[in-house]
């Protein structure tokens, strides 16, 4: 654990019929915040921010699927915020957004004193992003607790997802707290990368062909939400 005092707090709300999480990255020093994936009853999060005296200055999108962005207009009517997403996602989406800030993987955004690193994590969509702030990772539909995003919809690519998850597995500290885009967890809605490396089947496969087989042909037939942990041995057996 770091002994550095966090500059921020992550507030989360599970909203809508698809167990989506809407997050607020609240910077303590300035009482400003970024809202991530504003959707569904987003007014609940906007009211929460108002009640706490938090000003929303930025909107971060993990990707452009309807269940993650259907509260965007309402959010922009409430707050005069900048909208951030990755350039390949904007291209994939094709939406005519008013002056969005388009990023590349590796870019950084500052909300007050809180620095947010943007990871390009393609696989679920071409321009999916994860937002890494302090020890927290807001992962959208890239990584769920013991699951990962579908790769069979338009713009999905299971081989890219394999590479994305491999990089996340090796690149993120084991103590990183995962905040997923949907609540598919068996108990606590968050987890650590360490627990995911132990029990997330999508982090168990060592070659892309096995991963693709499991993601595209096996997973949906043998598992349902909430997802339990799966050992590496169980994952290996599942693709035999
Ligand atoms: Fe999605």
Confidence bin at 1 (pLDDT 50/70/90)? very low
Cβ-based neighbours of 167, under 8 Å, separated by 6 or more: none
Q: Give me the pLDDT at residue 4, please.
A: 60
For ligand 1, the distance from its centroid to the CA atom of residue 194, given in whole angstroms, is: 24
Assessment of whether the complete model's pTM goes beyond 0.75? yes
Q: Give me the pLDDT at residue 223, please.
A: 97
For ligand 1, the distance from its centroid to the CA atom of residue 112, given in whole angstroms, is: 29
For ligand 1, the distance from its centroid to the CA atom of residue 7, given in whole angstroms, is: 29
Cβ-based neighbours of 209, under 8 Å, separated by 6 or more: none
For ligand 1, the distance from its centroid to the CA atom of residue 129, given in whole angstroms, is: 11
For ligand 1, the distance from its centroid to the CA atom of residue 128, given in whole angstroms, is: 9
- List residues, by chain if needed, whose CB lies under 5 Å from ion ligand 1: 65, 141
For ligand 1, the distance from its centroid to the CA atom of residue 108, given in whole angstroms, is: 23
For ligand 1, the distance from its centroid to the CA atom of residue 184, given in whole angstroms, is: 13
Span 229-238, average pLDDT: 98
The rounded distance, in Å, linking the Cα atoms of 135 and 114 is 11
Q: Give me the pLDDT at residue 5, please.
A: 73
Confidence bin at 7 (pLDDT 50/70/90)? very high
* 2 pLDDT more than 60: no
For ligand 1, the distance from its centroid to the CA atom of residue 89, given in whole angstroms, is: 12
pLDDT tens for 144-196 read 999 999 999 999 999 999 999 999 999 999 999 999 999 999 999 999 999 99
For ligand 1, the distance from its centroid to the CA atom of residue 3, given in whole angstroms, is: 35
The tokens for 203 are: 């982090």
């Amino acid at each position: 654990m770091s002994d550095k005092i966090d500059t921020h707090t992550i507030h989360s709300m599970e909203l809508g019929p698809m167990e989506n999480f809407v997050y607020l990255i609240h910077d303590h020093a300035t009482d400003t915040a970024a809202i991530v994936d504003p959707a569904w009853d987003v007014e609940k999060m906007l009211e929460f921010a108002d009640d706490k005296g938090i000003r929303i200055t930025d909107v971060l999108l993990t990707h452009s699927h309807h269940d993650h962005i259907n509260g965007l207009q309402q959010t922009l009517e409430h707050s005069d915020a900048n909208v951030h997403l990755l350039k390949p996602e904007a291209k994939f989406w094709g939406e005519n957004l008013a002056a969005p800030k388009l990023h590349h993987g590796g870019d950084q955004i500052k909300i007050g004193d809180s620095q947010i690193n943007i990871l390009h994590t393609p696989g679920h969509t071409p321009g999916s992003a994860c937002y890494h702030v302090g020890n927290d990772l807001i992962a959208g539909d890239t990584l769920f607790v013991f699951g990962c995003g579908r790769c069979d919809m338009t713009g999905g690519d299971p081989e890219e997802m394999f590479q994305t998850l491999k990089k996340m597995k090796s690149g993120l500290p084991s103590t990183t707290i995962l905040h997923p885009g949907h609540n598919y967890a068996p108990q606590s809605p968050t987890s650590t990368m360490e627990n995911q490396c132990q029990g997330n089947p999508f982090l168990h496969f060592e070659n892309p062909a096995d991963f693709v087989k499991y993601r595209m042909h096996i997973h949906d037939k043998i598992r349902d939400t909430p997802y339990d942990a799966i050992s590496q041995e169980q994952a290996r057996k599942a693709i035999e």
